[in-house]
Structure 1
Amino acid sequence: MTLVIFSVLLFSAVPIALVLALSALWYIAVSGNAVLFDSYAQQLFGAVESYGLLAIPLFMLAGELMNEGGLTSRLVNLARILVGGFRGGLAYINLVANMMMAAIMGSAASQIAIMSRAMVPAMEKEGYDKSYAAAITAAGGLLSPIIPPSMLFVLFGVLAQVPIAEMFIAGIVPGLIMALLFFVAISLMGLVHSYPRGEWPTRQQARQYLLAGIPAGLIPLIIIGGILAGLATPTESAALASLGALLIGKYVYRDLQYSRLFDILKRTAFNSGMVIMLIAVAGVFGWVIVFEEIPQNAAVWIAAQTADPFIFLLMVVGILLLVGMVIDGIAALILVVPILLPIAQQQYGISPYQFGVVVCLTLVLGLLTPPVGAGLFIASSMTGEPPMRIFRALWPFLIATLLTLVLLSWKGELVTLLL
């Protein structure tokens, strides 16, 4: 009956946080176990009582400060030096800039919004189809959940009780593999559609772009370098990145005004507050799932289907593709990890890092797939292009992402290579 209430509320357009909270309350009420009401508030608080979760608002703040301080546009120009002269040069620039932003922001939705404003008008001006320009920008957002830092990795690390820094390291090779497949997709589409050949910057322009881009490029180095070198935790790296973005935007580029700080902090508080609230109520719902013995029942059913870890992960990918189409990725992650991770580890011997990367990447695909497709609607609202036209142009990148998922499910060593 709880599942029925959950489904009715979900498809009635009730906010997902309320769906989870009300479903848990319904279960407690009908179960007759009134003592659980006494633990409800404690479970809400306990779900967010983790130092690691502090990284989420700090990475959001770093992204806001970078965008407001002009660091994003400098990273785009830095990408021009690397790939600007190839056929479809702006498409490559878009992807490389997305990789740089993924190493800073950790949020696919925020990255899609920022890069859509920065790249789509420029690509359209040079003769690219707007739907293709919006599609590659949206696809670049898929790099955010696996190129460190990643909000989903932070949350998975908390749920799975594995070191968040090691989760970040586990995402480096998969992120590079997916970026390589995206480069191949852009190259093939550039030949088919005869997109214009880009222009390499002149020596003087390259020097200007490099000098202007170095300070902005320090931010991903602070984040990833600090974590890899063991000098800072992910939360400390996020705090340092926020401070660096503030100082660079204000005193190096002089684009950031202190008068804008209140709006920046307000947006960060609002967006991170929604995420933290979702984590809290999903924690309560996960508590209900344990009482219902759903993990144990799911383990019995899945074990009866296959004994092959690769087939198991493909089943997980298929299930989560459907889940991600209707439920927010963060909420879905909190719901599925307590159910599926014990099965993956205990019955199939799958590394939590491999499982985490596969699950996070699969769930973020839901940002770009109907009917919910929040990323599609963000790209549409930023560019004015209809969501379904963007979705049709996305197919090469969705296929590349699915190929990455199959490869990572088959060869878990690719995830743990740097650990």
Structure 2
Amino acid sequence: MKRTILHLTWLVSLALAQDTTESVRTLSGSDRRLTSSDGGPTVPSDFDDSTIASISTLPPNGTISASTISSPDTTTTSEALTSILGSTRTSTANDTASATMTTAPRPSNTQPCNNYREFCTRKYSNITEVCAHNSPFVRKNNAASNQQFGVTQQLNDGIRVLQGQAHLVNGTLYYCHTSCDLLSVGTVEDYLREVVAWLDAHPFEVITIIFGNYGWQEKDSAGNALVTATNFVDPVKNSGLLPYIYQPPKIAMEIGDWPTLGELILSQKRVITFIDYNFNANAVPWLLWEFYNVWETPFSPTDFNFPCTIGRPDGLGEEKAREIMYMANHNLNAEIAIGGLSLLVPNTVFLNRTNGVEGTGSLGNMTVQCTEQWDRPPNFLLVDYYNIGLPTNGSVFEVAARANGVTYNRKCCGTESVATTVKNARMAYLAPVIAVLVSVVV
């Protein structure tokens, strides 16, 4: 009851205080965000959901083809909430009963949505958030680690997009990096339980989860995919996450189709889920194929210039890319070749620069370049070790704040000092080199 009253109070203040014009966010002084006057982008022809076709698995190489996918039979989150939150109040007899009612000061919304009250009336597709690359992979002095802190601390610090690589082992999904022998951090279900506990305690937050399907190429004797979206259903349901998941009105969403954070929060459908390979829109309509909704710059990059070109999916044209969200992959990797082995590991030596606000190879520099190239900032900034960067802790969140046109004034990150974090990350970086040298000597 207390939470219900809180939500109703917030609804009233937000509905009365905010107008219907979407906030514009800026970067480096240039307007780069969609506003209500821009109009909604058109759906790419390949995504035309007026033509019904059943697609249950990803094309082998993750390409966009002329195939189309149908929209699931769903209702929008809440027409009533949308009418209150996203439109001008309708005049009634009570509105004209007293002059005081029309001249009284309007309340201001003070409740942040994803840490900023400005976001409450912005569309989900009109906000830049930081994504923890391989969020579950936290293991001290392990080369396969990508983050220093666990998911609860990540969310507390401001991470709102979680990505991880899942492996099917004896019928159970585990979060493992490349191999469960190299780094296994437990089941997907246990990880999601921790996420759900955080969501329960933070009712005004919207998060995104991108499931990486490592076994997407595995086939049974009949040639059918062994690991698809259906394998993620039980972990999601058993963890308690399913009631929080937002199911869009169609599988391929345009930028203008997404609801505002306020609408998602008021409906308590505060989680958007994507899968990179082997989606099944018919069986699991709430687990969206990432590449119908989000494209990515080159992934697993080793180029510190971080180009803003289209990396995935293959075959996506520029016109269509401008009509959906996009992710900037900014996790610098290094190739290590010793003793006939070739390993790709996070390049922790340059983390301060990679996650920095300014300078060559910095996240800030890439965000500016992508904004110039695509006329809007990236929606997701994917990074390793988000807590390291320059000039201060939380540099990646400063970059996101600048892209969003808001002021970053939070404290970051975790409980360890940056010096300790950098030291541990570099030890993890050197671990495979040491291991290979030892094996060669022996």
TM-score, normalised on structure 1?
Answer: 0.27
| Structure with more contact order per residue of length (Cα contacts < 8 Å, sep ≥ 6) | 1
Name the structure with the higher strand share.
2
